[in-house]
Every structure is written in structure tokens, then in C-alpha cells.
Amino acid sequence: MAGFVLEFERHIVELEDTIERLRALPSSSVISVDDQIEELERKATELRRKTFADLTPYQRAQISRHPQRPFTLDYISHLMEDWQELKGDRNFMDDPAIVTGLARFRGTNVVVVGHQKGRTTKENMHRNFGMPRPEGYRKALRIMSLAERFNRPIITFIDTPGAYPGIGAEERGQAEAIAKNILVMSKLGVPIIAFVIGEGGSGGALAIGVANRVIMLENAIYSVISPEACASILWRDSTKGAQAADALRFTAPDCKMLGAADEVVPEPLGGAHRGFNTTIADVGDVLERHLSELTPLSAQELRDHRYARFRKLGHMQTATA
């Protein structure tokens, strides 16, 4: 996994590898490579700046899927205290693609719900590549209902390609589970903050995304469909994902402009995986700020705020003859 490189950043990684090899050379009083290393470092910094200053939507989608980005359990382990994971939907089984539990976040008791991907093949098989089944959403709903009962704010971390579309999931009511989550979340009388940390795919993301505040990392995406699936439908060719990405307007800046996201949190140069701890710390600071703004609101004010937020999404234009 340490060698995972996105195609558009390969030239940067190759230059960084050259620098590391020069640093590993034994020191010599006759030959010094310090000046060469310094020059290459300047070139690498400039190359990173140029490459990541003008990313295409599809490149941002690739970064959002990077397996070394912080996942939900990473944020929990670094930001939360007294984490107690709660499993099972009390109906069918536990779904590891969604993790839920109780925790203390900077002095506030909270409930945490989030999609969880894996970094290795074995982990991804266990987590179903972050694609929840109905029992995952029913587990999330059970825990969020507990949050309202005990008056705890809810923090959700969104990072999924979408809900699992398998036959078994459909047989057990995938669409109903998602729809019920959306309905119940709209009525909860506690603060809800949704943080899109990677992929925000379709109803699989929205099922835990009906929040008072929706925040996105800079290279996260939030979309009704993946660019590859969109291309498969429109052109019968999934390789045209980059073309579909240009039209979907799913990047964090686009979502902020369209009102689907309330705030965009900058990532370190190169993406969250290049500044793992910095990203987690920044997310914690933003969460703390939004919690402090929402906590004083009454239950009805929170419901009204959430209702108004989603009602104002989208724009209508009247056609003229």
C-alpha cells in the first residue's frame, strides 16, 4: 500500500524517490550531493504546487478514493475519547461497512456514525469496500435514535462509493432502509454534523447525510452517481468517467457553491494522505466549531434549521417563450 501512486502524480513520486535515494548515499568529504538534493527539493515543491493547483474533477475523485486517506476509524481513534463501538441492527446482522458508537469529543458526549473502507484486500472484503447493506443503515438508525433519547449530538463521516446493490441487499429492503434513515434524520431533535471525508456516493451517502451542517474535505466528492457509472449509462463506456466527472459538479468547491456543502476544509498539498495527522487535526477543529454553534439550539430549532437547509437546495428558472 505504501507504493500506491495515482497516475497523474507519478512524476512527482519518481522525483521524491530520487531525492530519498540521494539522501541514503553514504556521506563523503570528496563528493557532496547536498546542493543537488536542495535543487531537486525545490523542483519537487514547485511540481507539486503546479500539479495540485489545477486538478480536474476526475483527479479529485481519484484522490477522494486514495486508500491512504484517513478513514472513519482513524478520525475516531485520534479525535475521540472513551470510544465504545455498538454493533448490530437488532434485526438481521452487523454490517462492518458502517461503524457506530458512543464517544467523547473534546469534552462533549457524542454519537458517531461513519462508513468504513479497508486498506488491504482482506480488510476491504470484510468492510465490503465501504458499501453498506440494509442492516448497516438500520444499525445507524438505531444508534442515532439512541442519540436523541440521551440528547447527544451526532457526527457522521461519509465515505462510500454507494449503497451495496447486491440481490441480498435488495431482498432485505435496501431502498426502504435508506428512505427511512432520511425520514427519521430529518426529525431528530439533536445537532447533526455530516463530514464528507472521501467519496459521498448516491443514497448510500445521503442515508447518513441529512444534517444541520454538511462539511467536505477539499478533495472529497459528493454525487448522485460515480463518474464511471454515469459514463456507463450515458455512453455505455465506463472509461469515459473523466468526461462524466466534468458534468457532474461533484467536487467540494462545486458543492459549496451550489449549497450542498456548508464549508470546505483545505487539505495539505497533495491530498489528505500526504498530511494524515494535519488533516485529522483540522477536521477536529472544524467539528468543534460547528458543534459549539449548534448545541445551544433547541430541538425544534434544529429541526427547522435542517428543514430550511434542504428546502433551499437547487434553483428553478422559469422558461420564457
Please state, in angstroms and rounded to a whole number, the distance separating the CA atoms of residues 205 and 173.
Answer: 17
What are the angstrom distances between the C-alpha of 73 and each of 18, 27, 96, 105? Answer: 34, 42, 12, 14
The residues near 94 (Cβ < 8 Å, ≥ 6 apart) are 87, 88, 135, 139
- Nearest one of 122, 117, 195, 123 to 162, comparing CA atoms: 117
Q: What is the mean predicted confidence (pLDDT) over 80-100? A: 95
Share of the chain above pLDDT 90, in %: 74
**Greater pLDDT, 225 or 157:** 157
φ, ψ for residue 285, nearest 5 deg = -65, -40
pLDDT tier, 117 (very low <50, low <70, confident <90, very high otherwise): very high
Q: Does the global pTM surpass 0.85? A: yes
pLDDT tier, 321 (very low <50, low <70, confident <90, very high otherwise): low
pLDDT in tens, 43-81: 888 888 888 888 999 999 999 999 999 999 999 999 999
Where do the H-state alpha helices sit in 66-133? 72-79, 121-127
pLDDT at 1: 45
Q: What is the mean predicted confidence (pLDDT) over 289-302? A: 96
Please state, in angstroms and rounded to a whole number, the distance separating the CA atoms of residues 299 and 292.
Answer: 15
What are the angstrom distances between the C-alpha of 318 and each of 259, 312, 314? Answer: 20, 17, 13
pLDDT in tens, 176-235: 999 999 999 999 999 999 999 999 988 899 999 999 999 999 999 999 988 998 999 999
